Amino acid sequence: MTVAGEETWPDAAEWAGKIYSGGWRQPGGGVQQVHEPATGERLGEVGVAAPADVARAGAMAAGAQRAWAERAPRERAEVLLRAAQALREHRGAMREWIVRESGGVPAKGDYEIEAGLAQLAQAAGLASLPLGEILSPPAPGQTSYAWRVPLGVVGVVNPWNAPLLFAMRALAPALVLGNAVLLKPDPHTPVSGGVVVARLFEEAGLPEGLLHVLPGGPGAGEAVVADPHVAMVVFTGSTRAGRAVARAAGDGLKRVALELGGKNSIIVLDDADIDSAAAAGAMSSFGYQGQACVAAGRHLVHADLVEPYTEALLGQAEALRVGDPREEGVALGPVISERQAARIERIVDESVAAGARVLTGGRRDGLFYPPTVLDQVARTMPAFTEEIFGPVAPVVAFRTDEEAVAIANDTEYGLAAAVHSRSVARAAAVAERLRTGMVHLNDVSAKDAANAPFGGMGASGNGSRIGGTANLEQFTQWRWMTVPGSA
């Protein structure tokens, strides 16, 4: 794949049909074709890791990790900073891969690149933080220490919706804190979530054996989770799959960080700025076709504002052009697969059959699903209860702040939310009663920051947090030592 004005990167002659495990090598699981969802065009092929490939990678990673952990933290940080420089140098090609492989518009590609750079920089900063404490000794004359040590090998099972960002968010802190990584990219985005990550760290001079990129389907992911050398699994995906990962990892007493689904609410109180709230609501529900765990799956609007808010939201939706994301002016590309398009269609159709009303959108053209606004949505309908993962904005009315909180909390999920009010104090009072791991005032629900602890409650995860200094807790474990006093 070529990019205007830039050399082809990464060179397919190096990686086509291969996996990255101690260099680029032929896999035992054959090859997988990579296609562009917008056009169906073939973009290339990657190797598929067989269970034997994963076992070999786990053993190699465990061996390489020991010497890596003994290196000075500054040296590990410098590798991350060189990877960031390589990403800057190849950002045009990286953007093209994200656009064509994941169906995002160029702005989505730029966002992922900037977010990936921020993750690398933030993780590099962990190398300078204190890793231990001097404790009060248990007996007079003793010295008591506690400090953090690497876990060993971290398995990362990566999603397709933000493949570069989520890869960097897990493997950057894992590596800088002295761990090795087995990265299993999603089959929809094995290049932008796998191949390019390997190439960036190759260019950065990461020692061989510390990073293994193992594309494949569920079998490859299961092998990573089960590998005896893997001490921790980072999984981002559906709640159903996350529960399966947790069960499998539990047999090995492995640490698990689960970032799962969400049914997130935008709450619009009766004193909100309607235009601002509708703009935030549109971005939260329609950005990247709604294919984000932090997307707004409910618009809870005070009954007195439902009509003007819905009108403003319709204006936002109808101004968004749907099509090939490489075309000028396109705001929404295709959803990732036929399976996902059919799921969105089912949720909308079943909700309409139950009494919801489509105000705009609601009919797809292949993988292209338009921005859709529903009203008259009841709390028993699929549009209210299920995570849609598509560009659909269900509008639900409420009368009091207490009712808004109750409706927002009426879900097994607990990931993100946003509250809109001209009174920050009132918005904060509502926000504090929401059962979510993240909440934003007068803003979108879909936010991410490298220095913030990202994660949810309930079925949105297992309480883990990745980001900022929370990474110290996730990717290390404590060791305690006592030293007797001199005789």
Contact 106, 325 (CB under 8 A): yes
How far is residue 38's CA from residue 324's CA, in Å, rounded to a whole number? 6
DSSP string spanning 194-239?
IIHHHHHHHHTTPPTTSEEE---SHHHHHHHHH-TTEEEEEEES-H
One-letter amino acid for residue 176 of the chain: V
Reading the block at residue 13, the tokens are 């002659």
DSSP string spanning 114-152?
HHHHHHHHHHHHHTTS--EEEEPPSSTT-EEEEEEEE-S
The per-residue b/e assignment along 157-184, b for 16 or more CB within 10 angstroms, e otherwise, is bbbbbbbbbbbbbbbbbbbbbbbbbbbb
Contact 120, 471 (CB under 8 A): no
How far is residue 416's CA from residue 438's CA, in Å, rounded to a whole number? 5
CA 322 to each of CA 201, 286, 335: distance values in angstroms, whole numbers, following the listed order: 35, 11, 11
How far is residue 191's CA from residue 83's CA, in Å, rounded to a whole number? 16
Estimate the share of the chain in helix, then strand, then coil, as percent rounded to the nearest 5. Answer: 40, 20, 40
Backbone phi, then psi, for 454, in 5-degree steps?
-100, 130
Q: Catalytic pick from 293, 311, 328, 386?
A: 293
3-class SS of residue 27? coil
In terms of Cβ atoms closer than 10 Å to its own Cβ (0-12, 13-18, 19+), residue 347 is buried
Contact 393, 281 (CB under 8 A): yes
How far is residue 318's CA from residue 320's CA, in Å, rounded to a whole number? 5
Distance of CA 267 to the CA centre of its chain: 23
Q: Catalytic pick from 70, 259, 350, 386?
A: 259
Q: Is 203 a catalytic residue?
A: no
Which helix (H) or strand (E) covers residue 181, if one does? strand 180-184
Q: Which long-range contacts (CB under 8 A, 24 or more apart) does 65-69 make?
A: 65/150, 65/152, 65/153, 65/178, 65/179, 65/180, 65/210, 67/207, 68/175, 68/178, 68/179, 68/180, 68/207, 68/210, 69/149, 69/150, 69/178, 69/179
Q: Is 96 a catalytic residue?
A: no
In terms of Cβ atoms closer than 10 Å to its own Cβ (0-12, 13-18, 19+), residue 420 is buried
Tell me which residues are annotated as active site: 259, 293
